[in-house]
Amino acid sequence: MRYASKKTAILIAGGILSLCLYFTGCDDNPVEPDEPKDYPAYFFDAYYNDANWYFAYHPASNQVDSFWLPYSLPPLISADGKKMYITGIPTDHIDVLDTDSMVVIDQLPYVGAFAVSPDNRLIAVVDDGLSLSILETSDYSVVFHDTTTFNERCVFSSNSQRFYGAPQAGGVYILDLSDSQFPITIITPPFGSVRDLAPSHDESKVFLYLQRPQLFWYGAFAVYDLAADSLIFSDTLRPGFGELEPTPDGRYVFYTNPGHMLYGPGLPWIRVYDVQRNAIHKEITTAGVLEEPYGSGVPLEEICVTPDGQWVVALAVNSYDFVIAFDVYNMAVSKYVRLGHSWLWGVSCQKAP
């Protein structure tokens, strides 16, 4: 199955290398190094009039490809960036698309894809009963199955040997895939509802985005130390409802505070937690860098990090329709694009370079 695509903005990025033929005698010239790869971040417009439009944002060049697909749900990109997993129509299967051609190359009898392992070997999916299956990406055979149901956010460890999830019943679920017995650890401290999570690079800690319903809604970014069985850091976020994302080297965690239409607006920044120092490293604001009338900045919601660790790609909340690139090396807003679409959602980056 092939879908026609319409490019509203097309980037052909990269340098042109000069060709040195043997008879010209220029073979002694040094070879120019390759340009860094411009890893795209994929997302779509969730507004009902534009829900079939999907985008690939290239942060290094600040360019966007747009294409039409017959879906209305967010994409999940494979760890190597070569495949897109997306719930099909009707919503009783997952279509697997080639990201170069956007041709459907496979279909899986599941209703949603949660996460891919950084080594590109495994994918976590759910069936119509919302139970978990871990599949081999080579042939989509089932490695593990559990009837536990999860919130949307689930992740694999950086070495792909464990799976972390937030069960709907609460707490944190850790599945050891390196053990043939597949032992499961459930952490249930009274720290509130887990909205988002990720393990530290060495898996001694779990980074948590919590949402706590009290008199007024508020959230928190928190760090849970597994050995100490306690929270060792917490940053209260009002109202919260954001996401977190560690950098591939495990040094920093970025998180947002977008707010909620029912509980109040968020704030126009992204915060950076320093893992080694166990402290906030920096707060990077979008104020003063966007075009007017958005000079005061816009709140950010979903984020993903490119596999080279250079860019954090963030989507602004609701109708602000900005996609913004944060330069991790310089800890600053580097560039942005305003797309003119209503509700950007479902950002996904590949994991492996």
pLDDT per position as a tens digit, 52-106: 899 999 999 999 999 999 998 999 999 999 999 999 988 899 999 999 999 999 9
Question: How does pLDDT run across 130-146, given as a tens digit for each residue?
Answer: 899 999 999 999 999 99
109, 75, 74, 70: which is closest to 93 by C-alpha? 109
Beta bridge partners of 193: 211
Q: Which residues contact 5 (CB under 8 A, 6 or more apart)?
A: 67, 68, 69, 102
Residue 283 pairs in a beta bridge with 271
C-alpha distance across the termini of the chain, in Å: 28
The structure's pTM equals 0.89
Give the list of residues 6+ apart from residue 262 with CB closer than 8 angstroms, or none. Answer: none
Cα–Cα dist 338/74, whole Å: 19
Spell out the residues 6+ positions from residue 141 whose beta carbon is closer than 8 angstroms to its own. 135
Q: What is the mean pLDDT of residues 206-221?
A: 83
Task: Kindly give, in sequence order, each residue whose CB lies less than 8 Å from that of residue 3, ignoring residues fewer than 6 positions away.
Answer: 67, 68, 69, 70, 102, 103, 104
Q: Phi and psi (nearest 5°) for 302?
A: -85, 145
Q: Residue ranges of the domains in the chain?
A: 22-349
Q: What is the pLDDT of residues 307-344, one digit of tens each?
A: 999 999 999 997 789 999 999 999 999 999 999 877 89
Residue 22 dihedral angles phi and psi, to the nearest 5°: -60, -40
Model pLDDT for residues 143-165, shown as the tens digit of each residue: 999 999 987 789 999 999 999 99
At the second CATH level, the architecture of 22-349 is: 7 Propeller (2.130)
